[in-house]
């Protein structure tokens, strides 16, 4: 042991012997300082202990990571409630234990690992390092690992799981979250994210596997084990070839006079979006140079979330004006979501909402199906999906055109698994979306995918441009045909879970116990749905149709005038989200 390591252990022993007076905290401190081999995160706990920061220690060490709507996600740093080397090892040990029990062919099928470009120097933590530790845990147990040799878009992991026939896969990413965060997104063999019953089982397996096993810290296995393979080249080629199933106007694309700008938001998307455009026959989009390369600090952005609109698209819009490009596409840092802006005739820019883009994608993908279908073919076997907090525009299109539409709970873990079930029933899933600019075009990937969505959007814009139409003009036509759907989404930041819970409990006990509000201002409430409690007043027995999730907060109000509003606690960020929509008749 080196001098620094020996000094740290002596330091730890002195601090441990003093104790905090809290038996639960003392045990957690002992476990952390005994198990953690990352010197920087170990020192963070030692410093908090020396400073007597007991409240902060309890927050970091007496709580554990839980699965939200997109896997495990938390700030990077020391503690069992944060993303770091030790918690990623614990999570992977839990998944290995789960798969060992549930997947007899685990050592034949292997496991896929991908990662984005996030990192935090203060904690010696990066997505690459966490991916290597994930791989090391599995390699030490003689499980073949398909570890990408460089960063990839999140959708490449579920795609690779299906293409390689792997038992499962993990993507190390926090998507569009702030720079301090990272995450751990799990996909099972069907290529969809974990659903709630599986999450609970894996959490139990994690609780049984907290202490790192011999070999779990051995990152060198990634470099020397014959069980480690790099799927990058084969998966990238296969994915780009698969995109051809979504391309219907290649010759038109090759002649396209419309110019596009793309921002990858300092993330992984640049190379892959360029290749996707080429796969569709386009000249690649003009990249925003300041945001083209990965940067874990997201230096040019106040927030790495393209959903925030024009304020975070400033560099893209100015470049588009300079280059004469009429359409801007932006992928979030892990390239699973897509923002779109279009220059209007007066020179202003329209940034489309996720719901507006879904209206266009829904129209486009159904139109492309109708174009290729035999005359008189019935669309009864087709399906589109949306999360329950998203616009009802797909439902309106489905009702007129005769195809099937379903809603799911928020989060693509619900969408992807339901799409997989529908495929098993012989249905064709054309499109699925969530209002937070997450789109699944076809079933190349059973998750939202900003790379394929960017290429499909470009083809749609090119097609409309050839007809003398803009995206905004076509959106108006879609609403004229299927009914205007006016939506508003917003959010409130709330960093205290207790405050969030108190807000929802007050609404459940409004005026008197177990009574929901009967009106909001001058507007009467006709029905109320509380999926945290499994209650829906619109159903004969008062029982909600959608699955109940006691771990998340979500209330939906249906007003007498037809408006629908949902208040929901985010599963990935410290936000209370508000979704409202008013649907008109065609």
Catalytic residues: 175
Neighbours of 376 (CB within 10 A): 5
Residue 33: which residues within 8 A CB-CB, separation 6 or more?
12, 15, 16, 42, 45, 46
Residue with tokens 């109708």, as numbered in its chain: 370
CA distance 393 to 197: 30
Nearest Cα to Cα of residue 331 among 424, 455, 246: 455
Strands 554-559 and 564-569 turn out to be: antiparallel
Both tokens assigned to 91:
């999570």
Residue pair 372/391 in contact (Cβ under 8 Å)? The answer is no
- In whole angstroms, what is the distance from residue 430 CA to residue 245 CA? 11
DSSP per position, 125-166: EEHHHHHHHHHHHHHHTT--EEE-SS---TTHHHHHHHHHT-
- Distance of alpha carbon 90 from alpha carbon 86, whole angstroms: 6
For residue 284, give the H/E element and its range. Answer: none
Where is 321: in which H helix or E strand? helix 314-323
Assess contact for 565 and 477: CB atoms under 8 A: no
Tokens describing residue 552: 């998340």
Alpha-carbon gap, residue 396 to 583, rounded angstroms: 9
For the stretch 23-29, contacts whose Cβ atoms lie closer than 8 Å and that sit 24 or more positions apart, written own/partner, are 24/62, 25/54, 25/57, 25/58, 25/61, 25/62, 28/57, 28/61, 28/62, 28/80, 29/57, 29/61
DSSP codes of every residue in 216-276: TT-TTHHHH-TTEE--HHHHHHHHHHHGGGG---HHHHHT----EEEE-TTSSHHHHHHHH
The long-range contacts involving 401-408, CB below 8 angstroms and separated by at least 24 positions, are 401/366, 402/378, 403/366, 403/379, 403/430, 404/380, 407/546, 408/546
Coil, helix or strand for 464? helix
Single out the residue of 111, 134, 124, 136 nearest to residue 220, CA to CA.
136
Nearest to 553, CA basis, from 566, 534, 568, 572: 568
């Amino acid at each position: 042991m080196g001098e620094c390591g020996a000094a740290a252990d002596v330091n730890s022993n002195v601090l441990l012997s003093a104790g905090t007076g809290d038996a639960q905290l003392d045990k957690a401190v002992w476990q952390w300082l005994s198990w953690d081999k990352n010197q920087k995160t170990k020192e963070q706990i030692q410093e908090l202990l020396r400073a007597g920061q007991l409240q902060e220690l309890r927050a970091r060490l007496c709580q554990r990571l839980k699965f939200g709507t997109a896997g495990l996600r938390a700030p990077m740093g020391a503690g069992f409630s944060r993303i770091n080397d030790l918690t990623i090892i614990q999570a992977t040990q839990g998944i290995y234990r789960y798969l060992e029990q549930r997947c007899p062919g685990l050592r034949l099928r292997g496991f896929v690992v991908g990662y984005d470009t996030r990192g935090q120097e203060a904690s010696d933590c990066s997505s690459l390092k966490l991916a290597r530790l994930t791989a090391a845990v599995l390699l030490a147990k003689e499980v073949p690992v398909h570890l990408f040799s460089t960063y990839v878009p999140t959708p490449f992991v579920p795609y690779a799981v299906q293409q390689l026939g792997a038992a499962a896969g993990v993507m190390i990413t926090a998507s569009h979250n702030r720079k301090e965060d990272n995450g751990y997104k799990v996909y099972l063999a069907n290529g969809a994210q974990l659903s709630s019953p599986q999450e609970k089982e894996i959490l139990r397996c994690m609780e049984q596997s907290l202490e790192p096993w011999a070999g779990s810290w051995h990152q060198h296995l990634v470099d020397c084990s014959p069980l480690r393979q790099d799927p990058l080249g084969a998966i990238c080629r296969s994915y780009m070839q698969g995109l051809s199933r979504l391309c219907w106007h290649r010759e038109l694309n090759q002649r396209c006079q419309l110019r596009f700008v793309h921002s990858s938001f300092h993330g992984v998307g640049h190379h892959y979006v360029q290749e996707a455009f080429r796969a569709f026959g386009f000249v690649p989009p003009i990249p925003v140079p300041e945001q083209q390369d990965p940067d874990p600090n997201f230096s040019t952005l106040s927030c790495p979330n393209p959903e925030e609109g024009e304020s975070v698209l400033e560099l893209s819009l100015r470049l588009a004006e300079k280059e004469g490009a009429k359409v801007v596409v932006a992928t979030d840092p892990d390239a699973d979501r897509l923002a779109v802006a279009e220059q209007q005739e007066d020179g202003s820019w329209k940034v489309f909402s996720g719901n507006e883009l879904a209206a266009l994608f829904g129209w486009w993908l159904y139109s492309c199906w109708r174009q290729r279908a035999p005359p008189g073919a019935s669309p009864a076997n087709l399906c589109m999906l949306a999360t329950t907090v998203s616009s009802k525009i797909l439902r309106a299109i489905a009702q007129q055109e005769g195809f099937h539409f379903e809603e799911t709970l928020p989060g693509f873990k619900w969408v992807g698994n339901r799409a997989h079930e529908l495929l098993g029933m012989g249905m064709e899933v054309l499109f699925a979306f969530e209002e937070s600019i997450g789109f699944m075009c076809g079933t190349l990937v059973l998750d939202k995918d900003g790379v394929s969505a960017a290429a499909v959007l470009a083809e749609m814009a090119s097609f409309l441009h050839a007809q003398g139409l803009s995206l905004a003009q076509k959106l108006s036509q879609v609403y004229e045909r299927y009914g205007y759907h006016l939506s508003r989404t917003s959010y409130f930041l709330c960093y205290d879970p207790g405050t969030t819970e108190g807000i929802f409990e007050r609404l459940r006990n409004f005026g008197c116990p177990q009574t929901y509000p009967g009106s909001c201002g001058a507007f009467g409430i006709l029905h109320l749905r509380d999926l945290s409690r499994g209650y829906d007043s619109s159903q004969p027995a008062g029982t909600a149709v959608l699955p109940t999730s006691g771990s998340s907060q979500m209330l939906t109000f249906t007003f007498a005038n037809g408006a629908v509003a949902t208040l929901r606690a985010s599963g990935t960020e410290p936000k209370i989200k508000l979704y409202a929509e008013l649907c008109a008749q065609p």
